[in-house]
Structure 1
Amino acid sequence: MRTIRRALAWLWPLLLAASPAGACDSAGFAIAIDPGHTRTSPGATSARGVPEVQFNVQLAEVVLRELRRAGFEQSFLTVEDQAPITLPERAARAEAQHARLFLSLHHDSVQPQYMSDWVYEGRAQRYSDRFSGYSLFVSARNADEARSLRMAELLGAEFRRRALAPTLHHAEPITGENRPLLDPALGIYRFDDLVVLKRASMPAVLIEAGLIVNRADELQLDSASFRQTLAEAITAAARQFCDEAPAAPAGVAVRSKASSAARASPAAR
């Protein structure tokens, strides 16, 4: 026993020195996962006729599960069961639950001039195979623009590390697009008037996971394995962001595990 104690006494300073100074307190770092759209405002329609909100909800559930598995126990969904909610209310819910980061999850489309007609399972649908890939949006009107951009950079790096490529079509000089492209390599755009981003009181990023109007992309985005890849990338970026984050403001209460679990049921731009 004395020998073991001596060994531990020798190892302990080394273990402390090896621990990163900014190690993330993930248990107390609440992340708001905002699944875009609702039943009554379902968003874009995929090449095979599926409303965007279904893709958003499915991805949000996997992301939430992966975040909690990684120790982000206080993470939560802003919307449950695709229930009606306004855009400002999404941001307000994140603030009310002391979120330190706001991530809005979406699936992308294109402008009407790029769409074509086809028939899928006997029904006329619209599609566009011209563009493919993810995109990330930040707002200069967010309460913490600099750290919003930092989170977008971390997300882009994790997506690229997994061989995902960004789409650059939102920078095209056409009606409905023409968004400032901040980082072409990482697929980061500025879109100042996105309500959920500019109303969020914490760093916020909107993620377009891919183009559901692209027939090949839709199949990939609808696969459990690809949702898991996206969730792991988002979680890895969140971990790095948390490591870099300043301490929580004084007086901000951390919810208990019990109260967190009570809000854990899966939900629904």
Structure 2
Amino acid sequence: MDTLVTTSRCHRLPECQPRWSAVGAVALALMSPGPAQAQQIPVIAVDVGHTLAAPGATSARGRAEFEFNRELAGRVVAALERLGLRAELINADGRIESLQARPARAADADFLISIHHDSVSERYLTPWEWEGMPRDFSDLWAGHSLFVSRNNPDPDASLTCASAIGLRLQRAGFVPTDKNRIRRETADAQLAIHYYDNLVVLYRARQPAVLFEAGVIKHRDEELLLRDPDRQQRMAEEIATGVAACVTAGGIATAHRAD
């Protein structure tokens, strides 16, 4: 799997060094002694995509994307904290006032990840009925994907972190989707990383940032998987490990605080 990471990015990732696990690299990075140790622990902002008023896509069975996002984001925060990082949940109540407020609330973080779940264009949807209600679905695509912006203050670090997350997920058996290559330029086809240059939460961030699409909630089978607590937990742990490996071994926290 290491071949999925290009040489220019691979040297920054613990996954490319077979002697060390990503968790081990995190532990070593956080063991520096001294009274300033707490201030040196990376801070990760985890953004819950969408709001109660604008809940995003609707799943094949009628559930709002925001609810999916909030569940997974909460698990990512807990997984990051178990790795010894500091994590801040943004928009947990779904009442954040604007897109611009998301990166503003994450201003002091070292890395920002925005959690979303994917949909499909209306032309690909098929009507069906679920529990007596008219719904629609598309079983054409399933799988996760990641987005970065070249207008972010640190696009290289954003792409490095997206690669670390994508690699961890694939090693754990999660399969990405090629759906988004239809409308977004591809940064890494094998890891399903795409450029979304003008997305506010990415380009207005003050630190490296990634938007993560956990899966396609219009896909009837994948919707059920995305609601499974055990699977959510496994996905959250892999996301957290990828983020932790990136920010601690890649020097992102140090670089951000030096700005």
* 1:35 equivalent in structure 2: 48
* 2:29 equivalent in structure 1: 24
Q: How far does residue 75 in structure 1 lie from its aligned partner after superposition? A: 0.9
- For 2:93 and 2:169, the matched residues in 1 are separated by 28
- Kept in 1: contact 2:113–2:209 (CA 8 A): yes
TM-score (norm 2): 0.83
Amino acid at match of 1:80: A
SS at match of 2:106: helix
After TM superposition, which residue ranges in structure 1, 4 or more long, deviate above 3 angstroms?
19-23, 248-252
- For 2:119 and 2:26, the matched residues in 1 are separated by 42
- Kept in 1: contact 2:110–2:256 (CA 8 A): no
- For 1:82 and 1:22, the matched residues in 2 are separated by 33
Aligned residues: 226
Q: How far does residue 23 in structure 1 lie from its aligned partner after superposition? A: 3.7
Counterpart selection for 2:58 from 45, 49, 52: 45
Amino acid at match of 2:49: G
* 1:85 equivalent in structure 2: 97
Structure 1, 79-88 or 27-36: larger mean CA deviation = 79-88
Q: How far does residue 80 in structure 1 lie from its aligned partner after superposition? A: 2.6
Structure 1, 81-90 or 153-162: larger mean CA deviation = 81-90
SS at match of 1:87: coil
Q: CA RMSD in A?
A: 2.0
- For 2:30 and 2:255, the matched residues in 1 are separated by 10
* Cα distance, 1:193–1:25 mapped onto 2, change above 3 Å: same
Counterpart selection for 2:213 from 208, 218, 225: 208
* 1:94 equivalent in structure 2: 106
- Kept in 2: contact 1:138–1:190 (CA 8 A): yes
- Kept in 2: contact 1:170–1:179 (CA 8 A): yes
- Kept in 2: contact 1:139–1:145 (CA 8 A): yes
- For 2:26 and 2:48, the matched residues in 1 are separated by 33
- Kept in 1: contact 2:116–2:214 (CA 8 A): yes
* 1:150 equivalent in structure 2: 160
Q: How far does residue 250 in structure 1 lie from its aligned partner after superposition? A: 5.8
SS at match of 1:136: strand
Q: How far does residue 230 in structure 1 lie from its aligned partner after superposition? A: 1.0
Q: How far does residue 248 in structure 1 lie from its aligned partner after superposition? A: 5.3
SS at match of 1:167: coil
* Cα distance, 1:188–1:249 mapped onto 2, change above 3 Å: closer
Q: How far does residue 239 in structure 1 lie from its aligned partner after superposition? A: 1.9
Counterpart selection for 1:238 from 217, 235, 243: 243
Q: Structure 1 unaligned segments of length 5 or more: list them.
A: 1-18, 173-177, 253-269
1:155-170 paired onto structure 2 within 5 Å: 155-170=165-180
Q: How far does residue 81 in structure 1 lie from its aligned partner after superposition? A: 1.2
Q: How far does residue 48 in structure 1 lie from its aligned partner after superposition? A: 0.2
- Between the aligned residues of both structures, percent identity stands at 38
- Kept in 2: contact 1:107–1:209 (CA 8 A): yes
TM-score (norm 1): 0.80
Q: How far does residue 25 in structure 1 lie from its aligned partner after superposition? A: 3.0
Once the two structures are superposed, what CA deviation does each residue of 1:53-109 show, in whole Å capped at 9, x if it has no partner?
A: 00000001111111111111x2111113111321111000100xx200000000000
Larger Rg: 1
* Cα distance, 1:195–1:250 mapped onto 2, change above 3 Å: closer
Q: How far does residue 251 in structure 1 lie from its aligned partner after superposition? A: 7.6
